[in-house]
Structure 1
Amino acid sequence: MDAMVPGGPLDVIGVCVPWDGAHVRMGRRDSQPWQEHSRYLGGLKDILARSGDHAGTIILGDFNQAIPRTRAPRAVHEQLMAVLQPSFQVATAEAIDGLSFPAIDHLAFGAAFRVASVQPLPNEGAGGQRISDHTGLLITLSHGGGLLQPVAIFGGHMGEHQHRQNRVTPFGTFEATPARGLFMGNRGPLLRPDGTLRPWRARAWICCLTSFRGQRVPLDNPKRYTPLFFLDEAVALAAGHRPCAECRRADYLAFKQAFRRAFHVPDDAPLSATDMDAVLHAARTHGRRTVVPAAAIDSLPDGTFVTHEDSPRQAYLVAAGAIHPWSHAGYRKPLPIPMHGNVSVLTPKPIVNVLHAGYPAHDGQAFHPVAERCNQLHRS
C-alpha cells in the first residue's frame, strides 16, 4: 500500500509468513518443517530487492518468529534477519513492557521512522471472553517530526500461536494444535538440531500421566526425552504406545496380563517390558496395516482405530457399536458402522490382540473405558 503522510511517502507491506508446520501435517502435506516459511522469506527478499529505497517503508504482520531467536532454526532466523537488515529496524524486537513473552508478529520500519511507543492491548471482550489467540500491540511511530496514527497489530507467541508439534495422531504422526492432550508419552529424545522431530529414538514407546509426583519435564531439551501428548489412551495405543510402568503401574500390569493372554505366555514365564516392546516395535516399524471388510468392524475390540477407504485421512474410533470421528479436540457425533468397502486398522496388530484379551483403553479423565465415555457423550 502506498500513501502520503507529513514528511513524505509511506509504503506499507503486510505479511503473513507461514508457520513452521505449514503443509507438513496439514494442508497439502508435501512440505518439510520451516520449508514454506523459508520460501516465503525468499520471496519477500526478492520483492524488497526490486523496490529500491526503503527509508519510508513499513513491514508489518505475522512473522511467526521471535526476535531475537527463540525456537526457530538458526539458519531460518538468519534468513529473516538478512531480509530486514540493514534497511529496517524492528519495533517489536526484544522485551515489550507489559508482555511476558516474545512477540512473533512484528512491525519493521525504515530509516525515516522512529518508535514513539509500543503497548500491549487487552485480549478480552466485554464479557471476559478471549478475542483471539493473538495478543494485540498498539504501536506509534514518528515520521518527519510528527506522530503517525497508531498502528495496531496482533502478535502471537509460542505458547498461544506457535504450538509445538508434539500432539500425536492415531496415525502415529506429530501435529501442532492448541488442543490439550489427556495423556503424555515419549519415544526417547526426538529433537534434532534443526528443531524438527525424529519419528522415534527408543524402542520403549510409553503412555504416561500428565502429572506425576510434581515432576516437571522440559519440552525442548535434546538431551532428554521429548514429551508427546495424546487425546486419550486409545490414540496412544493406535500410535503404538503402551502404559508406563512407573506412573501408570496398575495399567501397566493390566496391559501385561492381557499381553500374556493374547500371546499365550504362561503366568510363571518371565515377561519384561523389553520383551513386549520388541513385539510392539516390530509391528510399528515393519508391520503393514490390516485391511478388512468394513462389515468386520464388529469383530474389532473397543478402543481400536480404523480408517475407511472413502475417507482415508479420517481416523475413527471403534467403540460402543459405532465409529467415532476423531479430532485433537475430541470425538464428533458417532456414525453407524459402514457395511460397504474396506477399512484399514490403524492400531498395531499386537495391541488389537491385547484389547481383545481384555485391556480397556482409558479416557484420561475418570479412567473409564473410552467406549463407556462415548456411550455417555452420545447416548441421545
Structure 2
Amino acid sequence: MPLPNRVRPDGALFADPARGTLFGNRGGRFHDPRTQALPRRIQASRQWICCVLSFKGRRHQVWGPGYTDLFFCDEVTAFAAGHRPCMECRRHDALAYRAALVSGLGMTQTPFFPEIDRILDGERRDGRGKRTHRLPVENLPDGAMLLAENGGEFLALRGGSALLWSPAGYIERRDRPAGTVTVLTPPATLAVLRQDYRPLWHPSADAFTPPPGTGG
C-alpha cells in the first residue's frame, strides 16, 4: 500500500502508486511513524522545499522517525502547493528562484530564505486549507496552476494550452481559459515564473506542447 505522501497541486496529501519526479518536505516531521496514517497537520514549519530524488547517496526511512517525506509529480505541482527549491540539493535553482523573486517583486534587498518562506506561507495556506487567488488569466505565466471551474481538476498553463494534471503526469491538452480564474500557485512564485524561471515539468507535458524556449 502506498503511503499518503504524494502532494496534489492544492497542497493536500494523498496515496498513489505513481512515482514523482521531485522529493521534498515541510520543515520536519508531522506524520505519526507508528500509524503512517494521513496526518491532520500539514507542516512542521514554514520551510516547504522541493528536492531532487537522490542526493549524495543518502538513504532515509520514508515516514519513519525522521522528517515527513513528500513526493511531487513535478516542480509545477510543487510550486502550486507552495514549495520552493531546496538550497542544499538544488542550490543553483534555489538561487535562481530567489534572484527572480527579487526582480519580480521589485525588492531593494535580497532576502534570506526564511523570509521567502514567510512570504510563501502567507500566500499558500489559510489555516490548514489552501489559499487561492482570483486573477486574470492573461497575466499568468507558463507554469501557473489553476483550479478548473468544476472544482475537481487541476490545469497547468503552458503556451496556449492548459494541461490536465494527474498524479502520474499530464493526460490531456485543453485550450487556455479566458477571463478570471482560480490560481493555486502563490503570487510570489508567479512573479518568479514571469522572470523566466523555468520550472521542471513532468516529461508527459512534452507530448502536448513543445518545451518552453524551443520555438515550436
Give the structure-1-normalised TM-score. Answer: 0.50
Counterpart residue number, 1:226: 68
Tell me the secondary structure at the aligned position of residue 280 of structure 1: helix
Q: Distance in 2 between matches of 1:274 and 1:245?
A: 11
4+ residue stretches of structure 1 with deviation over 6 A? 370-373
* Separation (CA, whole Å) in 1 of partners of 2:45 and 2:207: 32
> Which structure 1 residue ranges, 5 or more long, are not aligned?
1-161
Aligned partner of 1:200 in structure 2 is 43
The Cα offsets for residues 289-329 of structure 1, whole Å up to 9 and x where unpaired, read as 1124xxx32321000100222x2110000112110000001
What is the CA–CA distance in structure 2 between the aligned matches of 1:273 and 1:364, rounded to whole Å? Answer: 26
Task: Give the deviation of 1:190 after TM superposition.
Answer: 1.7
Q: Which of 1 and 2 has greater Rg?
A: 1
| Contact 1:303-1:371 within 8 A present in 2 as well | no
Q: Distance in 1 between matches of 2:80 and 2:11?
A: 7
Task: Choose the corresponding residue for 1:375, options 201, 209, 216.
Answer: 209
Distance 2:206 2:187 in 1: 23
Report the equivalent of 1:190.
Answer: 30
- Structure 1 residue 169 displacement after superposition: 0.5
For 1:255, which of 93, 97, 101 is the aligned residue?
97
RCO greater where, 1 or 2, for CA within 8 Å and sep 6 or more?
2
- Determine if contact 1:307/1:313 at 8 Å carries over to the other structure: yes
Aligned residue for 2:182, secondary structure, equals: strand
Answering whether residue 89 of structure 2 is matched by residue 209 of structure 1, we say no
1:354 correspondence with 2:192: yes
Q: How many residues align?
A: 205
Look up the equivalent residue of 1:271 and give its one-letter code: P
**What whole-Å deviation, never above 9, does each CA across 1:208-265 have from its counterpart, x for those lacking one?**
000111011211223x211100010000000000000011011001001001112222
1:299 aligns with 2:139: yes
CA distance in 2, matches of 1:186, 1:272: 19
What residue number does 1:172 align with? 11
Q: Does 1:235 align with 2:77?
A: yes
Tell me the alpha carbon deviations over residues 323-351 of structure 1, each in whole angstroms, 9 at most, x when there is no partner.
000000110121112347x5210111211
Q: Is the 8 A contact 1:322 1:334 kept in 2?
A: yes
Contact 1:217 1:227 in 2 (8 A): no
Deviation per CA, 1:77-99: give whole Å up to 9, x if none.
xxxxxxxxxxxxxxxxxxxxxxx
Quote the offset at 1:194 in angstroms. Answer: 4.3
Q: Secondary structure at the match of 2:63?
A: coil
Asked whether the 8 Å contact 2:172–2:208 carries over to 1, the reply is no
State how far apart, in whole Å, the 2-side matches of 1:338 and 1:284 are: 22
Q: Secondary structure at the match of 1:207?
A: strand
For 1:263-342, list aligned pairs within 5 A: 263-266=105-108, 269-286=109-126, 288-292=131-135, 296-309=136-149, 311-339=150-178, 342=180
For the aligned residue pairs, the C-alpha RMSD in angstroms reads 2.3
Partner of 2:182: 344
The answer for the alignment partner of 1:127 in structure 2 is none
- The equivalences for 1:35-114 within 5 A come to none
Normalised by the length of structure 2, the TM-score is 0.86
